[in-house]
A and B are shown apart, each in its own frame.
Chain A
Amino acid sequence: GQQLNQSPQSMFIQEGEDVSMNCTSSSIFNTWLWYKQDPGEGPVLLIALYKAGELTSNGRLTAQFGITRKDSFLNISASIPSDVGIYFCAGQGSGGSNYKLTFGKGTLLTVNP
């Protein structure tokens, strides 16, 4: 089945620093989504990307749909303590079900004040 490689697995940064994480796949995806999960909560949708090359921002967050349709990245600028959590990429692939998302294994972000 389709798989997503998400990196890095974890990050420890200082407040104010910028953060970048990415997901890659061996197969083409039609849609990329980025989620954040706070401890004890469900994942919350941050950004959705639908077109190759698309660059979308949501506040301090910026995500891009790679031109090859096999990758996506998420940047967080000027991190703050509440950015702590697990960030997941998810994709809907051309070879898979229209209803099914494939999730990356997550990036655990820790922000030191």
Chain B
Amino acid sequence: DTAVSQTPKYLVTQMGNDKSIKCEQNLGHDTMYWYKQDSKKFLKIMFSYNNKELIINETVPNRFSPKSPDKAHLNLHINSLELGDSAVYFCASTPGTGLAGGRSSYEQYFGPGTRLTVT
């Protein structure tokens, strides 16, 4: 009955490899996000999708490619992994799309995180 789930929880890989992280939410939310949390715990937004459409694309290397097969899933694929990609990646979701979705649209619900270690 987990609301926002991510797999895997831990991912250890070598530089240059390609890896994917998966996220699923069973809350019926329309909007999903990927965040990167660095070693100083700063949460930085990377991408957001609303009903499978990309709506936020921050300054992120194009080695990172999100994909949303349906509104309940948002995956993150990373090509040619680098040491600096090591971080915890969080998926999050919200009910709606800002003003159109009502006040609770801004309330983001986070997954448990995926700790990526690149060696």
B 88-112 to A, binary, CB cutoff 8 A, 1 in contact else 0: 0010101001111001111111111
Cα A79 to Cα B112 with chains together (Å): 25
Fill in one digit per residue for A1-17: 1 if any B CB lies within 8 Å of its CB, else 0.
00000000000000000
A43 close to B31 (CB less than 8 A): no
CB < 8 Å: which of B42, B106, B113 contacts A41?
B113
Contact B40 A31 (CB under 8 A): no
Count of B residues near A, CB < 8 Å? Answer: 29
Query: Which one of A42, A43, A97, A105 has the highest number of Cβ atoms from chain B below 10 Å of its Cβ?
Result: A42
**A101/B106 in contact, CB under 8 A:** yes
Determine the residue in chain A with the shortest Cβ distance to B110.
A42
What mask results when residues 50 to 85 of chain B are scored 1 for a CB within 8 Å of chain A, else 0? Answer: 100001100000000000000000000000000000
A-B contact count (CB 8 A): 66
Contact B108 A97 (CB under 8 A): no
Least distance between A91 CB and chain B CB atoms (Å): 9
Contact B90 A100 (CB under 8 A): no
**Interface class of chain B by DSSP:** mixed
Among B40, B90, B94, B99, the residue within 8 A (CB) of A42 is B90
Contact between chains at B107 and A48 (CB < 8 Å): yes
**Cβ contact of A98, chosen from B43, B98, B107, B109, cutoff 8 A:** B98
Interface set of B (CB-CB < 8 Å, partner A): 4, 31, 40-43, 45, 48, 50, 55-56, 90, 92, 94, 97-100, 103-113
Given contacts A45-B108, A101-B45, 18 further A-B pairs with CB under 8 A are A31-B103, A33-B106, A33-B107, A35-B110, A42-B110, A43-B110, A44-B110, A86-B41, A92-B106, A98-B98, A98-B99, A99-B31, A99-B48, A99-B97, A99-B98, A105-B41, A106-B42, A108-B41
